DNA sequence: ATGGTCAACCAGTAGT
DNA sequence: ACTACTGGTTGACCAT
């Protein structure tokens, strides 16, 4: 086991697996081995002391850490490898493990966790993006609602709307907005039926206002639900 | 004390 | 059946 202090004063420790170099008890299958498991009996000392060539005793007398921490160099190499390919074939895994003085299983686990972290990061970014989008849509919706209220409250006389069916002016009082889909409908005008119409606002100022918000679809071009 | 990070594990699943 | 992978979880360690 090797203990060192990194530049950021965090404790860096590397711990090689028991029996990697010389132990005859090295498991035949890496899947059988719990990496954190401390071998019992006579093997315990080997587990604690087995390690890299530059292994040294802990100077502060603290008990040895049980959790493997990859060294900066190991992490760097793994990251570099991950940039090239996000998963390894057995040959690559073996080679990388040899290079890093780790077991192939450890390299494999590192890649699994790295993929998971990568995916998590991606998901978080997407979540952030959707939140911002939701916020902007909410704001846009609020503006449009306010605008509708203002238009309804206009005291300059009822705006005139041209019916696309009869090509004649309709009183604005016949216009209603569907509360569900917020589309404009006319009620009780064209032959007494409730009907969605493509309306043309006679007042050009109002028409411009209706169609200019944030690239949102213009009110008069919406289809009813 | 507590929350974050990360190596390691386990269960489930898909491909062969 | 075996292998490789994912998602979820655990536990050690660290920073605050």
> What single string gives the DSSP state of each residue in A63-96?
PPP-S----HHHHHHHHHHHHH-SS--HHHHHHH
Burial status of residue A16 (CB atoms within 10 A of its CB: 0-12, 13-18, 19 or more): buried
How many Å from the CA of A28 to C1' of C4? 19
**Strand B positions within 7 A of protein Cβ atoms:** 6-10
Q: Which residues touch strand B (CB under 7 A)?
A: A 33-37, 67-70, 75, 105-106, 109-110, 112-114, 117
Give the pLDDT means over successive 10-residue stretches in chain A (225 positions).
Answer: 31 32 31 36 31 33 61 89 87 88 89 88 85 93 95 72 61 55 49 39 36 35 35
Query: SS3 letters for A170-218?
Result: EEHHHEEECCCCCCEEECCCCCCCCEECCCEECCHHHHHHHCCCCCCCC
The tokens of A42 are what?
């006579």
The pLDDT assigned to A154 comes to: 85
Beta-carbon contacts of residue A111 (< 8 Å; ≥ 6 apart)? A78, A82, A86, A87, A88
A161: part of which helix (H) or strand (E)? strand A160-162
Predicted TM-score (pTM) of this structure: 0.52
How many Å from the CA of A111 to C1' of C1? 25
**Strand C positions within 7 A of protein Cβ atoms:** 4-8, 11-15
Cα distances (Å, whole numbers) of residue A206 to A39, A82, A157: 81, 57, 13
The pLDDT assigned to A179 comes to: 52
The pLDDT assigned to A164 comes to: 59
How many Å from the CA of A17 to C1' of C15? 28
Helix and strand numbers (H, E) in chain A are 5, 8
The tokens of A49 are what?
């002391």
The pLDDT assigned to A125 comes to: 84
Measured CA to CA, the distance from residue A204 to residue A27 in angstroms comes to 83
Ranges of H-type helices in chain A? 43-49, 72-84, 90-100, 104-153, 204-210
The pLDDT assigned to A193 comes to: 41
How many Å from the CA of A147 to C1' of B11? 55
The pLDDT assigned to A188 comes to: 45
Q: How far is CA A185 from the centre of its chain?
A: 40
């Amino acid at each position: 086991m090797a203990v060192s202090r990194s530049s950021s004063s965090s404790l860096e420790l590397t711990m090689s697996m028991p029996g990697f170099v010389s132990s005859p008890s090295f498991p035949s299958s890496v899947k059988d081995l719990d990496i954190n498991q401390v071998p019992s009996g006579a093997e315990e000392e080997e587990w604690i002391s087995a390690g890299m060539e530059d292994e040294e005793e802990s100077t502060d007398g603290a008990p040895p850490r049980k959790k493997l921490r990859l060294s900066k160099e190991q992490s760097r190499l793994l990251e570099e490898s991950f940039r090239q390919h996000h998963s390894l074939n057995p040959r690559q895994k073996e080679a990388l493990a040899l290079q890093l003085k780790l077991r192939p299983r450890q390299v494999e686990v590192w890649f699994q966790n790295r993929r998971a972290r990568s995916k998590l990061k991606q998901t978080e970014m997407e979540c952030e993006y959707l939140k911002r989008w939701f916020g902007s849509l909410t704001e846009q919706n609020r503006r449009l609602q306010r605008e509708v209220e203002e238009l309804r409250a206009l005291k300059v006389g009822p705006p005139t709307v041209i019916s696309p069916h009869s090509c004649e002016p309709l009183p604005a009082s016949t216009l209603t907005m569907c509360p569900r889909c917020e589309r404009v409908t006319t009620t009780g005008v064209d032959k007494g039926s409730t009907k969605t119409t493509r309306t043309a606002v006679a007042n050009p100022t109002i028409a411009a206002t209706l169609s200019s918000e944030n690239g949102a679809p213009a009110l008069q071009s919406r289809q009813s639900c």
